[in-house]
Amino acid sequence: MMGWGLLMLSLHVLSFLVSGVTSGHTSSYVRTEFPSTDIPLESEWFAIPKGYNAPQQVHITQGDYDGKAVIVSWVTPEEPGPAEVFYGKDKQYDQKAEGTTTNYTFYDYKSGYIHHCLVNGLEYNTKYYYKIGSGDSAREFWFETPPAIDPDASYTFGIIGDLGQTFNSLSTLQHYEKTGGQTVLFVGDLSYADRYEHNDGILWDSWGRLVERSTAYQPWIWNAGNHEIEYRPDLGETSTFKPYLHRYMTPYLASKSSSPMWYAVRRASAHIIVLSSYSPFVKYTPQWLWLKNEFKRVDREKTPWLIVLMHSPMYNSNEAHYMEGESMRAAFEKWFVKYKVDLVFAGHVHAYERSYRISNVNYNITSGNRYPVPNKSAPVYITVGDGGNQEGLASRFYDPQPDYSAFREASYGHSVLQLKNRTHAVYQWNRNDDGNNVPAETVVFHNQYWTSSTRRRRLKKNHFHLENLEDLISLF
């Protein structure tokens, strides 16, 4: 007889085996503690590392297309110092990579010296140790590379958005660290420095020190949000994304992108596409042309899980930022359906919401269905803009809940996506329940590519066959 946890998982599996859309649910949970105020800058959570010119704000991201490289980034506050990374499979650090150093000014703020170093030629499924800085101020960290690209490579992603640097933000980080997540998919809005007078760059520094507890040890796949734009002509700052682009590198050239704002990586069994909600994306623009070509590069036989990241959600039933993603939906949704994207993660709205598999591709301004309809080829759209920032929660959802919305709740939290194999993934949204980590929703997703009847028959013949629900559950 199944235990309670197994029974609950079975119900979730069954819910996604049935076709069509059922009624959605709006959670009645109301958060009561932890006000949305930033942690004081003198807090221990923002502590500056000991030693003269010690590296700080250390973070890594994937450095190539297929997961055999990382970009290591850090800041030295007093002087440039060496832009070198010593690394190896043990703490002998028998290899060295050299990087570049930059800095910037924003109005009356001058950044420290920002270092970026590509460490490539790594082996899959390997733990590497690395050291940066010099003398007594040197600091040591480690990271693990992903498994080789393979359709059945299991891997766990965390999904975080709109984080900020409040006590709620810290709670999100602490909870995520306990999940076993191996890489974070970050959907935009990092430091919220633009909420301070003159877009105070000191808040970029404090945020980098706050998140270092995670970013120094595992890749965060970066995406920019509206709070990274920082267009301030009144301050003489007329370029966009200036602090973000100086501080956070992306491997955009590896995916033939012309801009670090949009790019793609492959990791384990996933092909991840990062889009920029605040860069031109209409027809014939560089981002549009790149995405058109990138979808053609996707090989679902090797990376069956196709995941898209953006900041502004295409489907959102919250009053906050309502319909702001509509123009990108009109530009890209037909491709999402054509190529059977599995999941689209977005932030921006400070609440949680998951959709059914729906699309509105038949609508135009003169004819066609005006409402989203069930579509088995469409992705599930998930909004996770609930990391914990100072702007507070978006608690006002439209009533009644639209048919396309499966579950929604105005709470802080994060998500975890466990890719089990080429056919199934377990997804969980974790609520920061007044400081405690509470799993609020668990769903089993079927892979869009391998759910076709032809491919199921091929998988049954050549790989394995799920005889019944018990066999499916045994995969987890």
Catalytic site residues? Answer: 321
Burial class, 130, CB count within 10 angstroms (exposed 0-12 / middle 13-18 / buried 19+): buried
Q: What are the distances in angstroms from CA 269 to CA 67, 254, 424?
A: 11, 18, 11
Residue count of the chain: 476
Query: Using N-to-C axis directions, what is the helix angle for 202-215 and 167-177, rounded to 10°?
Result: 20
Q: What are the distances in angstroms from CA 145 to CA 29, 183, 214?
A: 38, 10, 15
Q: What are the distances in angstroms from CA 135 to CA 81, 100, 200, 311, 417?
A: 11, 20, 31, 41, 40
* Radius of gyration, CA atoms only, the chain: 22
Contact 107, 236 (CB under 8 A): yes
Provide φ and ψ at 284, rounded to 5°: 80, -5
Pairing of strands 380-384, 343-346: parallel
- Which structure tokens are listed for 208? 């980098």
Q: Which amino acid is at 204?
A: W
